[in-house]
Amino acid sequence: MVVSVRALQAVALAAALMASAEAQAPAAPPAAAPAKPARVQPPARIADFRAEPASVKPGQSTTLIWATENPNSVTIDPVIGRATPRGSRPITPSATTTYTLTVTGPGNTTLTKEVTVTVAGTTPVAKGAAVEVAKALPRMPDGKADLSGVYDFSAPRGAAPAAGAAPAGGRGGRGGGGAAAGGPELKPGAEKYRVTRGPTDAGPTSNCMPLAGPAAFTVPYQFQIIQSANYVVIFYEYPGTFRIIPTNNAAHPVDPDPTWLGDSIGKWEGDTLVVDTIGFNDRTELSGYKHSEGLHIVERFSRPTYDALQYEATLEDPNVFVKPWTVSRAFAFRPELTKIDEFVCENNPDYSGLFEKKK
Protein backbone atom coordinates (compact mmCIF):
# COMPACT_ATOMS: atom_id res chain seq x y z
CA MET A 1 0.00 0.00 0.00
CA VAL A 2 1.32 3.39 -0.95
CA VAL A 3 0.78 6.22 1.56
CA SER A 4 1.32 9.77 0.46
CA VAL A 5 3.55 12.17 2.37
CA ARG A 6 0.58 14.48 2.83
CA ALA A 7 -1.40 11.67 4.51
CA LEU A 8 1.46 10.90 6.89
CA GLN A 9 1.70 14.56 7.79
CA ALA A 10 -2.04 14.66 8.54
CA VAL A 11 -1.77 11.63 10.84
CA ALA A 12 1.20 13.15 12.67
CA LEU A 13 -0.64 16.44 13.11
CA ALA A 14 -3.73 14.68 14.49
CA ALA A 15 -1.62 12.72 16.97
CA ALA A 16 0.12 15.90 18.14
CA LEU A 17 -3.22 17.67 18.61
CA MET A 18 -4.57 14.75 20.66
CA ALA A 19 -1.47 14.68 22.86
CA SER A 20 -1.74 18.42 23.45
CA ALA A 21 -5.40 18.14 24.36
CA GLU A 22 -4.67 15.35 26.82
CA ALA A 23 -1.88 17.39 28.41
CA GLN A 24 -4.17 20.40 28.82
CA ALA A 25 -7.11 18.42 30.21
CA PRO A 26 -7.59 18.78 33.98
CA ALA A 27 -6.24 15.89 35.96
CA ALA A 28 -8.77 13.62 37.53
CA PRO A 29 -9.24 14.38 41.24
CA PRO A 30 -7.46 11.94 43.54
CA ALA A 31 -9.53 9.28 45.10
CA ALA A 32 -10.92 10.31 48.45
CA ALA A 33 -9.08 8.87 51.39
CA PRO A 34 -11.09 6.24 53.22
CA ALA A 35 -12.86 7.59 56.27
CA LYS A 36 -11.08 6.92 59.52
CA PRO A 37 -12.96 4.43 61.62
CA ALA A 38 -14.53 5.87 64.74
CA ARG A 39 -12.45 5.30 67.86
CA VAL A 40 -13.86 2.45 69.84
CA GLN A 41 -13.27 2.74 73.55
CA PRO A 42 -12.08 -0.58 74.95
CA PRO A 43 -14.56 -2.29 77.23
CA ALA A 44 -14.26 -2.33 81.00
CA ARG A 45 -12.94 -5.48 82.61
CA ILE A 46 -12.52 -6.88 86.10
CA ALA A 47 -9.08 -8.46 86.12
CA ASP A 48 -9.00 -9.47 89.78
CA PHE A 49 -11.08 -9.36 92.95
CA ARG A 50 -10.16 -11.51 95.94
CA ALA A 51 -9.68 -11.55 99.69
CA GLU A 52 -6.46 -12.72 101.31
CA PRO A 53 -7.12 -14.69 103.43
CA ALA A 54 -10.70 -15.57 102.53
CA SER A 55 -11.40 -17.07 105.96
CA VAL A 56 -10.58 -15.46 109.33
CA LYS A 57 -11.40 -15.77 112.99
CA PRO A 58 -13.49 -13.11 114.76
CA GLY A 59 -11.41 -9.97 115.27
CA GLN A 60 -8.89 -10.84 112.58
CA SER A 61 -8.35 -8.75 109.46
CA THR A 62 -8.17 -9.65 105.81
CA THR A 63 -7.29 -7.66 102.70
CA LEU A 64 -9.49 -7.05 99.69
CA ILE A 65 -7.47 -6.83 96.47
CA TRP A 66 -8.90 -5.67 93.16
CA ALA A 67 -7.83 -4.66 89.66
CA THR A 68 -10.01 -3.30 86.86
CA GLU A 69 -9.39 -2.00 83.35
CA ASN A 70 -10.99 0.96 81.51
CA PRO A 71 -13.60 1.73 84.19
CA ASN A 72 -15.71 4.87 84.38
CA SER A 73 -16.35 4.20 88.06
CA VAL A 74 -15.54 1.55 90.66
CA THR A 75 -17.35 0.82 93.91
CA ILE A 76 -17.09 -1.92 96.53
CA ASP A 77 -20.03 -2.61 98.82
CA PRO A 78 -20.67 -2.84 101.67
CA VAL A 79 -18.52 -0.41 103.72
CA ILE A 80 -15.87 0.72 101.23
CA GLY A 81 -17.89 2.59 98.59
CA ARG A 82 -15.99 4.49 95.90
CA ALA A 83 -12.67 2.89 95.00
CA THR A 84 -9.66 3.40 92.73
CA PRO A 85 -9.38 1.34 89.52
CA ARG A 86 -6.95 -0.98 91.30
CA GLY A 87 -5.90 -1.23 94.91
CA SER A 88 -6.14 -3.05 98.21
CA ARG A 89 -7.90 -2.39 101.49
CA PRO A 90 -7.61 -4.09 104.88
CA ILE A 91 -10.98 -4.90 106.46
CA THR A 92 -12.12 -6.50 109.71
CA PRO A 93 -15.65 -7.84 109.20
CA SER A 94 -17.53 -8.79 112.35
CA ALA A 95 -19.43 -11.54 110.51
CA THR A 96 -19.24 -13.50 107.28
CA THR A 97 -19.75 -10.89 104.56
CA THR A 98 -20.05 -10.95 100.78
CA TYR A 99 -18.42 -7.95 99.08
CA THR A 100 -19.47 -6.84 95.60
CA LEU A 101 -17.16 -5.05 93.18
CA THR A 102 -19.17 -3.00 90.68
CA VAL A 103 -17.56 -1.47 87.59
CA THR A 104 -19.30 0.82 85.12
CA GLY A 105 -17.72 1.14 81.71
CA PRO A 106 -18.22 2.62 78.23
CA GLY A 107 -21.73 2.47 76.85
CA ASN A 108 -23.32 2.27 80.30
CA THR A 109 -22.05 -1.27 80.77
CA THR A 110 -21.95 -2.68 84.28
CA LEU A 111 -19.81 -5.52 85.55
CA THR A 112 -19.92 -7.12 89.01
CA LYS A 113 -17.92 -9.70 90.89
CA GLU A 114 -18.36 -11.00 94.41
CA VAL A 115 -16.02 -12.33 97.04
CA THR A 116 -17.05 -13.72 100.42
CA VAL A 117 -14.99 -13.38 103.58
CA THR A 118 -15.90 -16.12 106.02
CA VAL A 119 -15.68 -15.26 109.72
CA ALA A 120 -15.65 -18.48 111.70
CA GLY A 121 -18.65 -19.11 113.94
CA THR A 122 -20.72 -16.16 112.70
CA THR A 123 -24.02 -15.81 110.88
CA PRO A 124 -23.52 -14.41 107.37
CA VAL A 125 -24.64 -10.83 106.82
CA ALA A 126 -27.68 -10.79 104.54
CA LYS A 127 -26.64 -9.89 101.03
CA GLY A 128 -27.45 -6.24 100.30
CA ALA A 129 -28.13 -5.48 103.94
CA ALA A 130 -26.98 -2.11 105.16
CA VAL A 131 -23.85 -2.29 107.28
CA GLU A 132 -23.62 0.45 109.85
CA VAL A 133 -20.13 1.93 110.00
CA ALA A 134 -19.29 4.56 112.55
CA LYS A 135 -17.57 7.49 110.87
CA ALA A 136 -16.67 9.70 113.76
CA LEU A 137 -14.71 12.88 113.12
CA PRO A 138 -11.05 11.89 113.46
CA ARG A 139 -9.04 13.77 116.08
CA MET A 140 -5.41 14.41 116.88
CA PRO A 141 -3.88 13.26 120.18
CA ASP A 142 -4.37 16.80 121.54
CA GLY A 143 -8.11 16.64 120.77
CA LYS A 144 -8.09 18.98 117.76
CA ALA A 145 -10.00 17.95 114.65
CA ASP A 146 -7.76 16.04 112.23
CA LEU A 147 -8.07 17.49 108.73
CA SER A 148 -5.54 15.04 107.25
CA GLY A 149 -6.44 13.28 104.02
CA VAL A 150 -6.91 13.60 100.28
CA TYR A 151 -9.79 15.76 99.10
CA ASP A 152 -11.47 15.99 95.73
CA PHE A 153 -12.18 19.02 93.59
CA SER A 154 -15.85 18.02 93.59
CA ALA A 155 -18.25 18.76 96.42
CA PRO A 156 -19.52 15.99 98.71
CA ARG A 157 -23.01 14.64 98.10
CA GLY A 158 -25.72 16.97 99.34
CA ALA A 159 -23.36 19.91 99.81
CA ALA A 160 -24.65 23.43 99.20
CA PRO A 161 -23.35 25.08 96.01
CA ALA A 162 -20.24 27.22 96.25
CA ALA A 163 -20.95 30.77 97.39
CA GLY A 164 -19.28 33.98 96.29
CA ALA A 165 -17.23 34.69 93.20
CA ALA A 166 -15.54 31.96 91.23
CA PRO A 167 -12.02 32.35 92.55
CA ALA A 168 -9.96 31.25 89.56
CA GLY A 169 -11.11 33.92 87.14
CA GLY A 170 -10.94 34.30 83.39
CA ARG A 171 -12.06 32.01 80.64
CA GLY A 172 -10.24 29.02 79.33
CA GLY A 173 -7.57 27.03 81.06
CA ARG A 174 -8.32 24.51 83.73
CA GLY A 175 -9.89 26.85 86.22
CA GLY A 176 -12.17 29.18 84.15
CA GLY A 177 -14.99 31.44 85.37
CA GLY A 178 -15.29 35.18 85.89
CA ALA A 179 -16.35 37.38 88.77
CA ALA A 180 -19.79 36.55 90.10
CA ALA A 181 -22.35 38.71 91.86
CA GLY A 182 -21.14 39.51 95.35
CA GLY A 183 -17.54 39.09 94.26
CA PRO A 184 -14.75 41.68 94.05
CA GLU A 185 -15.56 45.29 93.19
CA LEU A 186 -12.82 47.48 91.75
CA LYS A 187 -12.02 50.83 93.30
CA PRO A 188 -12.36 53.89 91.04
CA GLY A 189 -9.20 54.24 88.97
CA ALA A 190 -8.23 50.57 89.42
CA GLU A 191 -9.49 49.38 86.04
CA LYS A 192 -5.97 48.28 85.05
CA TYR A 193 -6.34 45.34 87.43
CA ARG A 194 -9.20 43.83 85.42
CA VAL A 195 -7.97 40.92 83.32
CA THR A 196 -8.97 41.23 79.67
CA ARG A 197 -8.30 38.13 77.63
CA GLY A 198 -7.58 38.32 73.92
CA PRO A 199 -8.52 35.72 71.32
CA THR A 200 -5.15 33.96 71.67
CA ASP A 201 -5.09 33.80 75.47
CA ALA A 202 -5.25 30.17 76.60
CA GLY A 203 -6.41 31.06 80.11
CA PRO A 204 -4.97 31.69 83.58
CA THR A 205 -3.92 28.10 84.25
CA SER A 206 -2.34 27.22 80.91
CA ASN A 207 1.18 28.16 82.04
CA CYS A 208 1.28 25.95 85.17
CA MET A 209 2.23 28.82 87.44
CA PRO A 210 1.18 28.73 91.14
CA LEU A 211 -2.37 29.72 92.08
CA ALA A 212 -2.99 31.88 95.15
CA GLY A 213 -5.58 31.48 97.87
CA PRO A 214 -8.93 30.00 96.87
CA ALA A 215 -7.91 29.88 93.20
CA ALA A 216 -5.69 26.91 94.08
CA PHE A 217 -8.81 24.86 94.84
CA THR A 218 -10.60 25.57 91.54
CA VAL A 219 -8.70 23.18 89.26
CA PRO A 220 -9.93 19.58 88.79
CA TYR A 221 -7.14 17.93 90.76
CA GLN A 222 -6.97 16.57 94.29
CA PHE A 223 -5.16 18.20 97.18
CA GLN A 224 -3.85 16.66 100.38
CA ILE A 225 -3.63 17.93 103.95
CA ILE A 226 -1.08 16.54 106.40
CA GLN A 227 -1.46 17.70 109.98
CA SER A 228 0.88 17.51 112.96
CA ALA A 229 0.93 19.12 116.39
CA ASN A 230 2.66 22.30 115.19
CA TYR A 231 2.08 22.43 111.42
CA VAL A 232 -0.53 21.90 108.74
CA VAL A 233 0.81 21.26 105.25
CA ILE A 234 -1.32 21.51 102.10
CA PHE A 235 -0.08 19.79 98.93
CA TYR A 236 -1.71 20.78 95.63
CA GLU A 237 -1.50 18.14 92.90
CA TYR A 238 -1.73 20.92 90.31
CA PRO A 239 0.67 22.57 89.73
CA GLY A 240 2.78 20.66 92.25
CA THR A 241 2.94 23.37 94.94
CA PHE A 242 2.63 23.24 98.73
CA ARG A 243 2.02 25.45 101.75
CA ILE A 244 3.58 24.93 105.19
CA ILE A 245 1.37 26.57 107.82
CA PRO A 246 2.72 26.81 111.39
CA THR A 247 0.07 26.49 114.11
CA ASN A 248 2.42 27.07 117.07
CA ASN A 249 1.70 30.79 117.68
CA ALA A 250 4.09 31.89 114.92
CA ALA A 251 3.89 35.49 113.66
CA HIS A 252 4.29 36.97 110.18
CA PRO A 253 7.64 38.54 109.30
CA VAL A 254 7.55 42.35 109.63
CA ASP A 255 8.41 42.74 105.94
CA PRO A 256 7.88 39.40 104.16
CA ASP A 257 9.44 38.80 100.76
CA PRO A 258 6.60 38.66 98.19
CA THR A 259 5.93 35.10 97.03
CA TRP A 260 3.35 33.33 94.86
CA LEU A 261 1.53 31.71 97.80
CA GLY A 262 2.34 34.27 100.46
CA ASP A 263 3.30 33.79 104.11
CA SER A 264 0.73 31.79 106.08
CA ILE A 265 0.23 31.31 109.82
CA GLY A 266 -2.56 29.33 111.44
CA LYS A 267 -4.47 29.06 114.68
CA TRP A 268 -7.32 26.90 115.94
CA GLU A 269 -10.74 28.25 116.86
CA GLY A 270 -12.41 25.15 118.23
CA ASP A 271 -12.43 22.61 115.41
CA THR A 272 -11.78 25.27 112.75
CA LEU A 273 -8.32 26.01 111.41
CA VAL A 274 -7.98 29.74 110.65
CA VAL A 275 -5.15 30.62 108.25
CA ASP A 276 -3.97 34.21 107.81
CA THR A 277 -1.87 34.91 104.70
CA ILE A 278 -0.03 38.05 103.55
CA GLY A 279 3.15 38.68 101.56
CA PHE A 280 1.85 37.80 98.10
CA ASN A 281 3.49 38.92 94.90
CA ASP A 282 1.25 40.56 92.28
CA ARG A 283 1.48 37.86 89.61
CA THR A 284 -1.63 35.77 90.32
CA GLU A 285 -5.34 36.27 89.51
CA LEU A 286 -8.47 36.18 91.62
CA SER A 287 -11.92 36.06 90.07
CA GLY A 288 -10.72 37.63 86.84
CA TYR A 289 -8.66 40.39 88.46
CA LYS A 290 -5.04 41.03 89.24
CA HIS A 291 -4.12 42.30 92.70
CA SER A 292 -1.32 44.15 94.45
CA GLU A 293 1.18 42.97 97.04
CA GLY A 294 -1.31 44.25 99.60
CA LEU A 295 -3.53 41.19 99.15
CA HIS A 296 -4.65 39.66 102.47
CA ILE A 297 -6.55 36.36 102.73
CA VAL A 298 -8.11 34.71 105.77
CA GLU A 299 -9.14 31.08 105.22
CA ARG A 300 -11.19 28.82 107.47
CA PHE A 301 -10.96 25.02 107.20
CA SER A 302 -13.29 22.70 109.12
CA ARG A 303 -14.50 19.13 108.86
CA PRO A 304 -18.21 19.11 109.74
CA THR A 305 -18.49 15.42 108.84
CA TYR A 306 -16.12 12.57 108.15
CA ASP A 307 -16.80 12.83 104.40
CA ALA A 308 -16.38 16.57 103.85
CA LEU A 309 -14.06 19.53 104.27
CA GLN A 310 -15.67 22.96 104.54
CA TYR A 311 -13.70 25.92 103.17
CA GLU A 312 -14.25 29.66 103.44
CA ALA A 313 -11.95 32.50 102.38
CA THR A 314 -12.26 36.24 102.89
CA LEU A 315 -10.09 38.32 100.55
CA GLU A 316 -9.15 41.98 100.64
CA ASP A 317 -6.73 44.28 98.84
CA PRO A 318 -7.31 47.93 99.76
CA ASN A 319 -5.15 49.04 96.84
CA VAL A 320 -7.49 47.44 94.32
CA PHE A 321 -10.92 46.52 95.69
CA VAL A 322 -13.65 48.53 97.39
CA LYS A 323 -14.24 46.03 100.19
CA PRO A 324 -13.48 42.43 101.20
CA TRP A 325 -15.47 39.56 99.75
CA THR A 326 -15.97 35.95 100.80
CA VAL A 327 -16.07 32.66 98.90
CA SER A 328 -17.03 29.30 100.35
CA ARG A 329 -17.40 25.72 99.20
CA ALA A 330 -17.03 22.12 100.38
CA PHE A 331 -14.75 19.33 99.19
CA ALA A 332 -15.35 15.58 99.23
CA PHE A 333 -13.03 13.40 101.28
CA ARG A 334 -11.42 10.58 99.27
CA PRO A 335 -10.76 7.78 101.79
CA GLU A 336 -9.66 5.39 99.05
CA LEU A 337 -6.68 7.63 98.22
CA THR A 338 -3.63 7.72 100.45
CA LYS A 339 -1.71 10.36 98.49
CA ILE A 340 -2.07 12.72 95.55
CA ASP A 341 -0.42 11.96 92.22
CA GLU A 342 2.67 13.56 90.78
CA PHE A 343 2.01 16.45 88.38
CA VAL A 344 4.80 17.73 86.15
CA CYS A 345 4.36 20.46 83.52
CA GLU A 346 6.78 18.68 81.21
CA ASN A 347 5.36 20.10 77.97
CA ASN A 348 4.36 23.71 78.50
CA PRO A 349 4.69 25.41 75.09
CA ASP A 350 3.50 28.75 73.80
CA TYR A 351 -0.11 28.07 72.79
CA SER A 352 -0.52 31.19 70.63
CA GLY A 353 0.20 29.19 67.47
CA LEU A 354 -2.96 27.19 68.05
CA PHE A 355 -5.00 30.34 67.48
CA GLU A 356 -3.38 31.41 64.19
CA LYS A 357 -5.82 31.61 61.31
CA LYS A 358 -4.86 29.65 58.21
CA LYS A 359 -4.66 31.74 55.04
Domains and their CATH numbers in the chain: 45-119 (2.60.40.10), 149-332 (no CATH)
Q: Give which of 116, 139, 112, 113 is closest to 127, Cα–Cα.
A: 116
For residue 183, which of 198, 200, 163, 202 has the smallest C-alpha distance?
A: 163
Instruction: Say what the pLDDT of residue 80 is.
Output: 84
**Stretch 270-296: mean pLDDT:** 96
Q: What is the pLDDT of residue 129?
A: 66
Give the H or E element holding residue 15.
helix 5-24
Q: Is the pLDDT of residue 169 over 50?
A: no
Mean per-residue pLDDT of the chain: 85
User: Mean per-residue pLDDT for 86-102?
Assistant: 93
pLDDT digits (tens, 9 = 90+) for 133-150: 557 889 999 999 999 999
26-35, 83-92, 225-234, 305-314: least confident range? 26-35
**What's the average model confidence in pLDDT over 235-262?**
96
- CA distances, 340 to each of 12, 260, 316, 350 (Å): 83, 21, 31, 28
* Pairwise pLDDT comparison (303 vs 82), residue with the higher score: 303
Q: pLDDT tens across 39-53, in order? A: 788 999 999 999 999
Q: How confident is the model at residue 164 (pLDDT cuts 50, 70, 90)?
A: low
Residue 5 · residue 13 · CB < 8 Å:
no
Q: Cα(224)–Cα(230) distance, rounded to whole angstroms? A: 17
pTM, entire model: 0.70
